[in-house]
């Protein structure tokens, strides 16, 4: 049996605060798809994913909190129809063991 560490005490509070903000952004008609992830370098992440926009949802040096927050948001939005497949975002290109940011990347509809 694997023992998992207990969830970070601030994860549920932060996820509850961020959920309405993320939802307000992704339901916009001009948003074609989105991706939630974590990274240590937002600029590099944006270049690798070729997204139209990227925003830090939360940032700090507590890597356990960042990983837990990403997981909580992915659980909440994981089955959303606009969620981009991981391979489509280039997310498989870096392994972010010591991530400092949870981010939201978006791709807009082209006119």
pLDDT mean across residues, the chain: 87
Condensed to tens digits (0 to 9), the pLDDT of residues 76-91 reads 999 999 999 765 555 5
Q: What is the pTM of this model?
A: 0.84
Distance CA 21, CA 46 (A): 20
Dist. CA 109–CA 111, nearest whole Å: 6
Please give the backbone phi and psi of residue 34, each rounded to the nearest 5 degrees, phi first: -145, 165
Average pLDDT of the segment spanning 9-26: 95
For the chain, percent of residues with pLDDT exceeding 90: 73
Tokens found for residue 61? 């040096």
Query: 63: buried, middle or exposed (CB in 10 Å: 19+, 13-18, 0-12)?
Result: middle
Give the C-alpha separation, 72 to 66, whole Å: 10
Residue 109 has phi, psi (to 5 degrees) of -70, 145
Give the H/E segment covering residue 39.
strand 31-39
């Amino acid at each position: 049996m694997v023992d998992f560490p207990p969830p970070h005490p601030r994860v549920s509070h932060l996820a509850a605060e961020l959920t309405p903000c993320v939802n307000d952004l992704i339901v916009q008609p001009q948003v074609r798809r989105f991706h939630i992830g974590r990274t240590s370098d937002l600029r590099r992440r944006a270049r690798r994913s070729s997204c139209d926009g990227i925003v830090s949802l939360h940032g700090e040096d507590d890597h356990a909190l960042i990983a837990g927050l990403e997981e909580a948001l992915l659980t909440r939005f994981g089955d959303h129809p606009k969620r981009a497949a991981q391979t489509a975002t280039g997310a498989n290109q870096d392994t972010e063991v010591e991530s400092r940011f949870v981010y939201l990347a978006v791709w807009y509809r082209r006119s």
